[in-house]
Every structure is written in C-alpha cells, then in structure tokens.
C-alpha cells in the first residue's frame, strides 16, 4: 500500500458536497440583508387591481395620501401577497413603520 502524503489526508469535499457549498454561498449572497425585504411589484399591482386607491378610485399609478401596507410585516413572516395588504394613510404608515422597525430588530 502506498504511503499517504499530507495533501492526500486533508478532507476534501466530494463533487456533491462542493456543489451544495457553492449553492449555499450563492443563496446567501443573493439573500437580502437582515432588515431588508423583497417586495414583488406584481403583487402590489394585483392588490391595487382588486382594491382601487381610496383617494382617486384608480387601479394604477400613485395614490395621494395613501400607501400599500403589509398587514403582517414581511420581516415577521408576512406574505407579500394581496391577502396581506391594505391601504393605509401616510400618517398611519409612519407610526406603524416605527413599531415594525423596533419589532423586526429583535
């Protein structure tokens, strides 16, 4: 039996393990940083189509005085889906955003 050299005794990942490590690295690199969340513009558009703007009645474009809010915050596991969205006044949104930032920091 041939003698093992130092470089042969190091643990090296096999092809499948290496592929998993690369995939994990790519997922982590593509994931938003803590505190950031992904919002799908198509979901917001679907919400607006189902629930026209309270101030204009339109289903597209801006909505003066209102924002689309996620009822359960995305950072707390809420879905980015129309069923988790509501219209909220800008004033209400400012207050809720402060509370959510504090909650999601934990």
**Quick check: 74 pLDDT over 90?**
yes
Structure tokens at 71: 């009822």
102 Rama sector, left if φ>0, alpha if ψ -120 to 50, beta otherwise: alpha
Stated pTM of the model: 0.63
Q: Is 68 helix (H, G, I), strand (E, B) or coil?
A: strand
Q: Determine the pLDDT at residue 31.
A: 46
> What is the pLDDT, as a whole number, of residue 38?
80
Q: Is the pLDDT assigned to residue 43 strictly greater than 80?
A: yes
Each domain of the chain, given as residue ranges in start order, spans 41-105
């Amino acid at each position: 039996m041939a003698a093992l050299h130092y470089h042969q005794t190091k643990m090296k990942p096999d092809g499948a393990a290496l592929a998993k490590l690369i995939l994990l690295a790519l997922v982590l690199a593509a994931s938003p940083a803590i505190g950031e969340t992904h919002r799908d513009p198509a979901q917001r558009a679907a919400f607006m189509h189902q629930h026209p703007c309270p101030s204009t009645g339109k289903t597209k474009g801006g909505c003066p005085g209102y924002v689309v809010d996620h009822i359960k915050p995305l950072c707390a596991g809420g879905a980015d889906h129309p069923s988790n969205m509501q219209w909220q006044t800008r004033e209400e949104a400012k207050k809720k955003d402060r509370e959510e930032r504090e909650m999601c920091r934990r």
